[in-house]
Amino acid sequence: MQPARLRHGAPGTRTPGTRLGHGPHDVFAAVFYGGRRRSVFARLVAESGARPGDRVLDVGCGTGYFTRLLAEAVTPGGTARGVDADGGVITQARRLTSLANCGFSKGTAEALDAPDGAYDVVVSSLMIHHLPEPLRRRAIGELFRVLRPGGSVLIAEFRPPVSRIGRGLVRAHSPEMANNRVDLLEPMLREAGFEQLDSRDLRPWIHYVQARKPTAPGPGGETTASTSRRSAG
């Protein structure tokens, strides 16, 4: 089982971002996160800025594990929606979910079916690397579009091991994961217009970037300068 499949399934070949083959997902996810899956995603929920009453969108939601945690975080009064290009995992997410404020729909990251500024928080975990490179900036532009001014975005991705042995083991299962350029996330978010960037590593394998959509342009149409902090999680 490839590391990329542990959350989302195998990349599809028909539609960008589609993932197929969602077998015993929870078992493999437990192995992938070394028993820390709940704590990893609880941290990501906290870092996302989601609060009671917020409207949250999870892009590339897979079977909805992250989406459900977000739905709990925005209770009471808030909603969480998961979107994924794979109709199979959407069906599974719906089957696994009993929360009234949590829903799922099929859709692609590069063409989100949502009005401008529809969400307070937008997240995406282990999805961007599945997209062909030309679509990655388009997808992040869509995250920016559907987020309200002042809203928060969080993108989490697989962080390849630093050691040669670790990279070799990952490469044997998934070359795309062994070469995942998490250092490109900040530039893409900044290019899309996000500010207040905060990049961190979260053990065992996650790198995430949290940022905000500017509330309003500054003098001359420019936004405030972006900032960036890094620390080990």
Span 126-142, average pLDDT: 90
Residue labelled with tokens 């197929």: 20
**Confidence band, pLDDT 50/70/90 cuts, at residue 188:** very high
Residue 223 lies in a domain: no
Beta bridge partners of 232: 201
Provide the whole-model pTM: 0.79
Looking at the structure of the chain, the number of domains it has is 1
Q: Which two tokens stand for residue 46?
A: 């906290």
The answer to which of 62-71, 79-88, 139-148, 172-181 has the lowest mean pLDDT is 172-181
How high is the pLDDT of residue 219? 45
How high is the pLDDT of residue 4? 34
Span 32-54, average pLDDT: 88
Q: For the chain, give the longest Cα–Cα distance.
A: 53
- Domain span at 75: 5-211
Residue 76 lies in a domain: yes
**Confidence band, pLDDT 50/70/90 cuts, at residue 216:** confident
Distance CA 168, CA 161 (A): 9
Residue 232 lies in a domain: no
How high is the pLDDT of residue 180? 65
The answer to which of 91-100, 121-130, 164-173 has the lowest mean pLDDT is 164-173
Output 93 or 131, whichever has higher pLDDT. 93
User: What does the pLDDT look like over 55-75, one tens digit per residue?
Assistant: 999 999 999 999 999 999 999
Q: Which two tokens stand for residue 147?
A: 């987020």
Residue 220 lies in a domain: no
How high is the pLDDT of residue 164? 60
CATH number at residue 206: 3.40.50.150
Residue 141 lies in a domain: yes
Output 211 or 176, whichever has higher pLDDT. 211
How high is the pLDDT of residue 179? 64
Residue 231 lies in a domain: no
**Confidence band, pLDDT 50/70/90 cuts, at residue 183:** confident
Span 213-229, average pLDDT: 55
Q: Which two tokens stand for residue 73?
A: 């975080």
Output 52 or 167, whichever has higher pLDDT. 52
Distance CA 70, CA 57 (A): 9
Residue 57 lies in a domain: yes
Output 169 or 184, whichever has higher pLDDT. 184
How high is the pLDDT of residue 148? 97
Q: Residues 195, 223: contact at Cβ < 8 Å?
A: yes
Q: Residues 84, 19: contact at Cβ < 8 Å?
A: yes
Distance CA 180, CA 35 (A): 23
User: What does the pLDDT look like over 4-30, one tens digit per residue?
Assistant: 333 333 333 333 333 333 444 455 555
Work out the percent of the chain whose per-residue pLDDT is above 70.
69
How high is the pLDDT of residue 26? 52
Residue labelled with tokens 């949290």: 210
Residue 233 lies in a domain: no
Q: Residue 172 above 70 pLDDT? A: no
